[in-house]
């Protein structure tokens, strides 16, 4: 079973702990894993109020999570805690969140769409 | 009048605030799960304080100060050092920020927390509604 790996030597921040649990739950579904298996990308997710961020690395089927934002990720998304929570729990559509400016995004939006298969509980 | 932090009286005031808070009731109307708030000793706090609350659909069904964490097996555990809790109770630190940065740690079903993000915030708000006397 696929699982998000934590970057060696790191203790994840709270945002990372929450997102990892949701992603690990989703990755139990092989279909969802296959939807991101071929990705070669990095994605930054930031909680807007605290500025706390994590970066997800997708490479050759491996998924790794690390604290903080890297420079020049493939894509990024940023929202307040409540919006991130509502999006991750599947109560707020990411598209609707973008249109209502609750979610800021940048970079390759197709990548964000693909990773929503594992970052959003459906 | 300020109430001594971690005392039975303090716990009673906390649970009373929970039962009176419409904001919490609304935010936690689907919440199911008991939890431990664990305040780890630091600076003037010499002994660990463990607060147990059994929360169910916006109500606090029971509460207790627990001497030994193994007494109960709650669905959630929120823990951190005394200094962080004190800052939150004094409204100098946002509880969400404390959780995001990992200064407060959370263990339990994250999906439920993500489904009801206001519940945790409103619960903490309840404990800031009365004056607390901290150990010197």
Q: Do A50 and B113 touch (CB under 8 A)?
A: no
Beta bridge partners of A59: A62
Number of Cβ within 10 Å of residue A122's Cβ equals 10
- pLDDT for position A114: 95
Instruction: Render pLDDT for B54-70 as a digit per residue (tens, 0 to 9).
Output: 999 999 999 999 999 99
Nearest to B114 among A13, A49, A88 (CB): A88
Q: Which residue has the tokens 């071929």?
A: A38
Least Cα distance to A53 among A77, A89, A27 occurs for: A77
- pLDDT for position B120: 85
- CATH superfamily for A5-115 is SCP2 sterol-binding domain (3.30.1050.10)
- pLDDT for position B4: 96
Q: Do B102 and A13 touch (CB under 8 A)?
A: yes
Averaged pLDDT for residues A67-95: 96
Task: Among A21, A45, A53, A97, pick the best mutation site for testing chain B contact (most B Cβ within 10 A).
Answer: A21
Q: Do B96 and A91 touch (CB under 8 A)?
A: no
| Cα-Cα end-to-end distance for chain A | 19
- pLDDT for position A1: 76
**In angstroms, rounded to a whole number, what is the distance separating the alpha carbons of residues A32 and A121?**
11
C-alpha distances in Å from residue B1, one per residue of B9, B130, B136? 12, 9, 17
- pLDDT for position A122: 79
- pLDDT for position A117: 95
Q: Which residues of chain B have pLDDT under 50?
A: none
Q: Locate the domains of chain A by residue range.
A: 5-115
Residue B108's Cα: distance from chain center in Å? 14
Q: How much is the pTM?
A: 0.90
- pLDDT for position B40: 97
**In angstroms, rounded to a whole number, what is the distance separating the alpha carbons of residues A77 and A42?**
12
Nearest to B97 among A18, A49, A91 (CB): A49
Domains of chain B: 3-128 (3.30.1050.10)
Which chain A residues have a beta carbon less than 8 Å from that of B23? Answer: none
- pLDDT for position A8: 97
Judging by DSSP bridges, how do beta strands A53-59 and A41-47 pair with one another? antiparallel
Instruction: Render pLDDT for A83-118 as a digit per residue (tens, 0 to 9).
Output: 999 999 999 999 999 999 999 999 999 999 999 999
Tell the burial category of B118 from Cβ atoms under 10 Å away from its Cβ (0-12, 13-18, 19+). middle
Task: Among A25, A84, A89, A122, pick the best mutation site for testing chain B contact (most B Cβ within 10 A).
Answer: A89
Q: A67: distance to nearest CA of chain B, Å?
A: 10
- pLDDT for position A5: 98
Q: Helix A109-119 vs helix A14-27: angle between axes, to the nearest 10 degrees?
A: 80
Instruction: Render pLDDT for A15-64 as a digit per residue (tens, 0 to 9).
Output: 999 999 999 999 999 999 999 999 999 999 999 999 999 999 999 999 99
């Amino acid at each position: 079973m696929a699982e998000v790996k934590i970057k060696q030597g790191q203790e994840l921040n709270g945002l990372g702990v929450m997102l990892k649990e949701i992603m690990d739950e989703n990755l139990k579904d092989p279909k969802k894993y296959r939807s991101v298996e071929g990705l070669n990308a990095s994605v930054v997710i930031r909680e807007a109020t605290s500025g706390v961020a994590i970066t997800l690395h997708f490479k050759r089927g491996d998924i790794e999570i690390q604290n903080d934002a890297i420079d020049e990720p493939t894509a990024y998304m940023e929202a307040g805690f409540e919006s991130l929570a509502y999006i991750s729990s599947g109560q707020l559509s990411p598209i609707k969140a973008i249109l209502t400016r609750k979610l800021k995004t940048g970079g390759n939006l197709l990548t964000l769409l693909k990773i929503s298969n594992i970052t959003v509980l459906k | 009048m300020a109430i001594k932090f971690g005392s039975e009286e303090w716990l009673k005031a906390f649970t009373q605030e929970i039962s009176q808070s419409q904001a919490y009731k609304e935010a936690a109307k689907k919440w199911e799960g008991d939890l431990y708030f664990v305040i780890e000793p630091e600076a003037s706090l010499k002994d660990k304080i463990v607060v147990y609350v059994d929360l169910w659909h916006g109500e606090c069904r029971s509460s207790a100060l627990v001497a030994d964490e193994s007494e109960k097996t709650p669905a959630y555990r929120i823990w951190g050092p005394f200094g962080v809790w004190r800052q939150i109770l004094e409204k100098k630190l946002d509880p969400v920020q404390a959780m995001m940065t990992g200064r407060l740690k959370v263990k339990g079903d994250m999906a439920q927390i993500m489904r009801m993000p206001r519940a945790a915030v409103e619960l903490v708000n309840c404990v800031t509604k009365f004056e607390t006397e901290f150990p010197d």
